[in-house]
Chain A
Amino acid sequence: MSQKTAKEQRKANAGNAQRSAALKKYGIAVVVVLAVVGLIAAIVMTRETAGSISDKTPDPTAGKADAAVVVRVYEDFQCPACAGVQPVVEDLIKEYGDRVKFIFNDFPLPQHKNATTAAVAAQCVFDQGKYVEYAGVLFSKQAEWELLSTEKAQDKLRGYAQDLGVDVNKFNECVADSATADRVTEDLEEGRTLGVNSTPSFFVGDKKVTETPFSASLKNEIDAALKAAQ
C-alpha cells in the first residue's frame, strides 16, 4: 500500500516537474524569439544604405555628376541576366543622363569563372574613359569569352579594349596590377554590405529595386525619386 502511495507521489512529482519544465521551456523560447527579432531589427537599422555608402576608390559612372538622384548598379559581366538588362541600362542613361547619376559596381559571382577577369579588364578600360562602351561590348559578346580558359579570355578582352582605341600597354599594366583586382573586391564587399546576393542588382537612392521587368520598375523608381528631390 505504502509502496503504491510512494509511486503515486513520484508520479505526481513528475507531473509537476513536467509542467514546470514545459513552462520554463516556453518562456525561454519566447525570450529567444524576441532576441532574434531584436537582432534582425538592429542589423537592419545599423546597416549602411546605398545612399550613405562611400567609395574608397572611384567607380565608373554615367550621367550627371552632381545629380540628386543616384542609381547604383551591381553587375557581373558573365551573368546572362545582366547582359539581358544592359539595353535597359543604356536606355535609362540616354533618358535620364541629364538628371541622374549612374554608378557601376562589379559583383562577379563565384560560379562564373571569367567574371572577375572581365571585371578587372573593365576597370582598366574605365581608367581610360570608355567604361560604358566596353561594358556594352562585354555583354553583347558574352558568349564569345565566357567559357574560354582565363588566358584565352584575357586575350579576347584585350582585343575588345583595343577595338575601342584603348592604349594596350597601359591596359596590360593595369590588368597585371593587383590594386585593380582590389578595386573589384571593394565593389564586391560593398555590394555584400548592401545585401546584394544576385545580379543585376539596382538601387535607386537607398531603395533596392527588385521587381521585374526592370525596364518598368527602374523608370518608376527613378521618376518617383526625381519628383521627391524637386
Chain B
Amino acid sequence: MTHFARLLFDNPWTLFLIRVLNGGIFFLFGLGKAVQPHQQFYEVMKVYDILPQQFIPPVGSTLIYVDVIIGIFLFLGLFTRFSAWVVSGLLVFYMVIISQAVLRGIPLENCGCSGGYIELGTTPAQVLTRDLIMLASMLWFLFAKSRSALRLDAWVAGSDEDVLEITATEDEE
C-alpha cells in the first residue's frame, strides 16, 4: 500500500465520514419506520416469507428500534466498535434476506429497505449494491489502524483515555 493510500485509509477524518454517513443512514432508515404504524413494516416482512406470522411483530419492531439506536450510537461515536459490528451484521443480514427473496422469485414492490426520510435505491439490485458499499466501508472502518475523529467515546474518556493507553502499554511490556 502506498504512503498516500495508507494516509487515506487510516485517516481519522475519513473514518469519521464513514462512521457519520453509515450511522446517519441507519438512523434515518429506522426513524422513518419507527414513526409509521409498525403494521406497515410487518406487511413488508410478510412478503419475504421467512418468519412464522407470530414472530413478525416482535422481530419487526426490534429491527426498527435496533436500526434507530445503533444508527445514532454509530453517528455519535458511542460504543463505536460495538455499533460498527452490529451495523455490519445487520447489513449482511439484510443482504441475505433480500438475496433469498430475489432467488425465490418473490416480487419486491417495496423491500422495506429505506423508510421514508431518505430513498437510497428502490430495486433489489440497487439496494444490494448500496448495502454492499456500506458493508465494505464498515469493514474498512473496523479494520483501519486509526480511530475515527470526534467520537463521543473519546470525549467521555477524556484525559482518562491517555491513562488507559499508558497502562495498556505497560501491561504489554
A residues apposed to B, CB below 8 Å: 7, 10-11, 13-14, 17-18, 20-21, 24-25, 28-29, 32-33, 36, 39-40, 43-44, 47, 79-81, 109-111, 192, 195, 197-199, 208, 210-212
Contacts and interface: CB of A to CB of B under 8 A. Distances in A.
Contacts of A14: 163-164, 166-167
Interface of B: 31-32, 34-37, 39-40, 42-44, 46, 68-69, 72-73, 76, 78-79, 107, 109-110, 114-116, 119, 122-123, 152-153, 156-158, 160-161, 163-164, 166-167, 170
Given A11-B167, A198-B44, A198-B110, A28 B119 contact: no
Given A33-B69, A211-B43, 17 more contacts: A10-B167, A14-B163, A14-B167, A21-B158, A29-B73, A29-B79, A32-B73, A40-B34, A43-B31, A47-B35, A79-B109, A110-B122, A111-B123, A198-B40, A198-B110, A199-B109, A210-B43
Contacts of B43: 210-212
Nearest to B159: A17
A17 B35 contact: no
Nearest to B33: A197
Nearest to B27: A36
Contacts of B34: 40
14 contacts: A17-B160, A21-B161, A29-B73, A29-B78, A40-B35, A47-B35, A79-B109, A81-B109, A195-B36, A197-B32, A198-B44, A208-B36, A210-B42, A210-B43
Contact of B72 (A36, A47, A198): A36
Contacts, number: 96
B122 A109 contact: yes
Task: Report the 5 A-B pairs with minimum CB-CB distance, sorted nearest first.
Answer: A17-B160, A198-B110, A14-B167, A195-B36, A111-B122
A197 B170 contact: no
Interface of A is mostly: helix
Contact of B35 (A18, A29, A33, A44): A44
A184 B59 CA distance: 36
Contact of A24 (B31, B119, B156): B156
